[in-house]
Amino acid sequence: MLPETFEPYIVGFLCNWCGYAGADLAGTSRIQYPPNLRAIRLMCSGRVDLTFILTALKRGADGVLVVGCHPGDCHYINGNLRTERRVALLKKMLSDLGLDDRRVRLEWISASEGERFAAVVKGFVEEIRALGPNPIEGNTNET
Amino acid sequence: MKLRIAVEGLGACAGCEIAILDLHEEIVSLLQDLEIDYAPILVDKKSLNDNVDVLLLSGSVRNRHDVEEAVRLSEKAKTTIAFGSCASFGGIPGLANLYATGELLERVYLNTESTDNKERTLPSEEVPPLEPVVKPLKEWIKINYNIPGCPPQPKLIKEMFQMLLNGKPVTLSKKTVCDECDLKREEKKITRILRWGEGEPDSSRCLLEQGYFCAGPATRAGCEAKCLAALMPCRGCMGPPENVTDQGARMVSAIASLVAIDEKNRVDPEQLVTMFKDVVGSLYRFTFPSSIIPRRVSEGKSK
C-alpha cells in the first residue's frame, strides 16, 4: 500500500570539490531546499561506478543525482567527462529496462553555486515526485 | 572408491555436456578415478536414483520442470556445481527477462517470420509452464561452485575434476580476459564502436582499442582468451571477474575510460549512446539475470 503522500527518496553522489562544496555553500548561506536528498560525498564524480547508481535504484531510491565540477574545472582533469559518458549509457540502459531515464540526473555545480545547488535539488525532487515511486519490485525504502 | 558424478542439463543446448567430451583422450585417464553415473546425453541411464558425490547442472531454469528437476537432483548430491554460464548467471536465455512471458510466447508461436499457426494455438497441454523470469541456479538451490563458460573450456573442466578428486575447493582465476590476451595494447583512445564484421581488424592490436566491442576487461579469465587468439572479440561468457557483481557496469566504465575526450576527436555522450545497437544485450549477453536490475520493470504500474 502506498503512503498518502509520496515523498521521493533521492540519493546524491556529490564530488568533494564542486558539488559538495556547493551544497555546503547552500547550507551556510541558509538557502532552503527539500530534505529528500541523501548526500554522499566522493572525491570525484569520476568515482561514480554505475554499480552505485544501479544499487541505489535497486534498494528503492526514487531518483539518483550525480553532481560534478563543470567541464574543464574537474580537480582530477577529466573524471567528470568520464562519468558523463557512463551516465549517458546508463540512461539508455534504464530505458531498455523499462525505467524512466529521468530518475538519474547528472549536473555540473561549482563550489560558488549554492543557489543553483538548491534550485537543482528542488527541481529534481519535483520531477521525481511527478514520476512517482520507483517501480522496481521488492525494493524497500528502509535505510 | 571412484568419485561418482551426475550430469543434467536444464533449459539449455547440451553444449556444456559435450564440452566434457572435448577433453578427448584425457577423459580416459580421468575415468580411472571418477565415474559418470548419470548423464542423459553421455551415458545410457534413464534416471538418477542413488546418491552421487558431485552433480553438474547446466542450463538455465526456464520452466517449472527445470525448477523441480534442479531441486530433486541436488538433494541427491553432496556437491552441486552450476556448470556453464546459463546455470551460473542465467546465460543467453536470461535475455528473455527483457520481455513479459506473454510477449515471448506470442513472438515465438504466433509472430515469427516463418510461423505457420493459423489457429493461433499456444502450447498449453502437457508442457510445464514458463517461470516469469530466468534466475541463476543459485537462487533456486544451494550451489557449491560455479564453473562459467559457454561452454566451459575443457582445461577448466579438467582442473575442476582434479580439484574435486583432491578434495580441494573449486577455484577460478581472479584475473580478467585481458590478462590472458596476447594482443598488444597501446593506450589508444577510440572514436567509434564497431560490431564484428565491420572493417578489417589489425591482427596484432587490442580489438577494443581498434573500436571493436570486446568484453575482455569485464570478464573473468580462465578461457585462455581463445576467441581473441582467433581475432574474435570477447562476448563475456565467463561472467564478471572476482569481486565484480555487475558485468555491464564494469564494461561501461571500461568504455567510458577508453573513448576520446580531447578537443579534436571528442566523442560526445549522445554520440556514444548511438554507437550501441543493443545496450543490454551487449553488456549483459550472458549475465543479465545476475545483474543488479535483472529484469525489465514497468514505470507507473504501482501508481
Please state, in angstroms and rounded to a whole number, the distance separating the CA atoms of residues B293 and A106. Answer: 20
| pLDDT for residue B301 is more than 70 | no
Q: How far apart are CA B231 and CA B205, in angstroms?
A: 10
The b-or-e profile of B184-207 (16+ CB within 10 A means b, else e) is eeeeeebebbbeeeeeebeeeebb
Domain ranges of chain B: 3-94+125-165, 177-290
- The residue of chain A nearest to residue B296, with distances taken between CA atoms, is A97
ipTM: 0.91
Distances (CA, A) of B62 to B7, B65, B147, B291, B298: 18, 8, 19, 17, 21
Question: Which residues face A106 on adjacent strands?
Answer: A66
B contact test, residue of A6, A80, A94, A97 with most B CBs within 10 A: A97
pLDDT band of residue A141 (cuts 50, 70, 90) is very low
Residue pLDDT, tens place only, A44-102: 999 999 999 999 999 999 999 999 999 999 999 999 999 999 999 999 999 999 999 99
What's the pLDDT score for residue A1?
59
| CB-side neighbour CA atoms (13 Å) of A140 | 2
Residues near B299 by Cβ (< 8 Å), separated by ≥ 6?
A: A98, A99, A100, A131, A132, A135
Is the Cβ pair B255, A50 closer than 8 Å? no
Other Cβ atoms closer than 10 A to A143: 7
**Helix spans in chain B (H):** 15-21, 26-30, 64-74, 85-89, 101-106, 154-165, 177-180, 226-229, 247-258, 269-274, 279-283
pTM listed for this prediction: 0.92
User: In this complex, do B299 and A98 lie within 8 Å of one another by their Cβ atoms?
Assistant: yes
Give per-residue pLDDT as tens, B151-176: 999 999 999 999 999 999 999 999 99
**Residue from B62, B59, B53, B55 nearest B88 by CA:** B59
Q: For residue A84, give the chain B residue with the closest CA.
A: B269
**β-bridge partners, B11:** B60
A80 is written with which cell numbers? 567528470
Yes or no: domain B3-94+125-165 corresponds to CATH 3.40.50.170: no
User: In this structure, is the dihedral angle defined by the CA atoms of residues A49, A55, A56 and A62, taken in order, positive or negative?
Assistant: positive
Give A1-16 pLDDT, tens digit per residue. Answer: 555 689 999 999 999 9
Contact between chains at B252 and A86 (C-beta distance less than 8 A): yes
Q: Is B244 exposed, middle or buried (0-12, 13-18, 19+ CB in 10 A)?
A: middle
